[in-house]
Structure 1
Amino acid sequence: MKKLLISALGLGAIVLAGGQANAAIIVLDNFNEGITDSDLGGPAPQSFTETVPAAGAVGGSRAVMHDVTLSDSPNRQSNLFINDDIDSFSLSNESNVNATAGASYGPGLGLELPPTPGQFRFDVPFFDAPADQPAEITLTVNGITATLPISNQVTPGGGSATIFFDAALFGNPTTLDSASFTVSGPVSFDVEIDQFDYEAIPEPMTILGTGLALTLLPGLKKAHNKKKAN
């Protein structure tokens, strides 16, 4: 039985190994290097841009933008903060302040992506916005743009979330030449992003192979026990 068990699991293990390779995650920015500290207040509009070296970002640098579009007082501010203490992209808006912020990478990155279906992913450990006025992430990949709300099914107006952009929205690119994202939302919204990456999606054969291996086990065991009884 032990031999048969190993054989059946081996079938699944072979497929799973391929699936793990296909499910590789390519980190595009982990926000743990390249300090940005921007405080903007009224009167609006106010803008801030800079490009900083960042070893954890694709291409080795990050171009940052921060725009305040509404503020009723110089004492009410919007803060964009990125540093190695918090390891995140953090945008915080005080009461009656509205702002957008983002980062861009490239052009000329020349980063090869896996030749399997994939998705661009934002890990959002914290966001705060009214449920009926969600904040949004706008992602541009190789010149193609898509926008998704920052929300989750449990607490639409706040909490944590993972935002997935299907690579098909951008024509399933096999090479990443440039990428940029912008977060925006209603007055006084806050958001924090701790990683931006690309994740390949395992092919259906991965799931099929694993299921096949598990399905075969009872049959193999029964056949082996019958042979042993004879």
Structure 2
Amino acid sequence: MSEPLKLIGSFGSPVVHRAEVALLLKGVPYEFIQQDLANKSELLLKHNPVHKKVPVLLHGDRPAVCESLVIIEYVDEAFDGPPLLPSDPFARASACFWARFVNEKCRRSVWMALWTDGQVQASSAREAAENLKLLEGQLPEGKRFFGGDTIGFLDIAMGGIAHWLGVFEEMAGARLLTEEDRPLDRPLLCKWARDYKADDIVRQCLPERGRVLAELTARKDRYVSIAMTMAAKNS
């Protein structure tokens, strides 16, 4: 396929990172269109009128592909190159299940553990620790990545844990993933995170940590507000 590819994204977004890694691993050239999420462009609103969020992938004259996990699956099927999803149906279904676990259950518990306080924070931290333990248990024995010897779909889905979680921990003054302090120690998951970030292809689209920290710190009050609203709805 020779139609031009455009990726609408924003700096420092872990979900945009997913789409970029998928494209780079497949060796597909693309144009990155930087989006100011505080002043969303007509291009974004036109192509993602439902959620009005990034990332959005534009492939020639086709309708836009939205949402990071959907984009990864599309890129894997639409282009030649190293496979991102397993060919075995069971392994493929398992990878998709755990990727959605990251997106839904794991992300929520981590968010609440970071940005709430008191009993809500304590219970969320316990849930987050258990979720990270479950994820660590999915690492194939003796392998560096969830995809085996190479980065695959679930590794990409978990890129936010590898690079962004440490930034959020520093902002919040909390520790959720460590290989030192029991019972939170997750040494295999920590090693996976280091290997993921050290990969040559991943590093091409991994935003500089200091800049990510600076930009996200400016949004800290908003994160706390969102978490407290979520907690109030569930009380």
Higher percent of residues as strand: 1
Q: Which range, TM-score by smaller chain?
A: under 0.3
Determine which structure has more spread, i.e. the larger CA radius of gyration.
1
Q: Relative to total residues, which structure has the larger helix share, 1 or 2?
A: 2
More RCO (CA 8 Å, sep 6+): 1
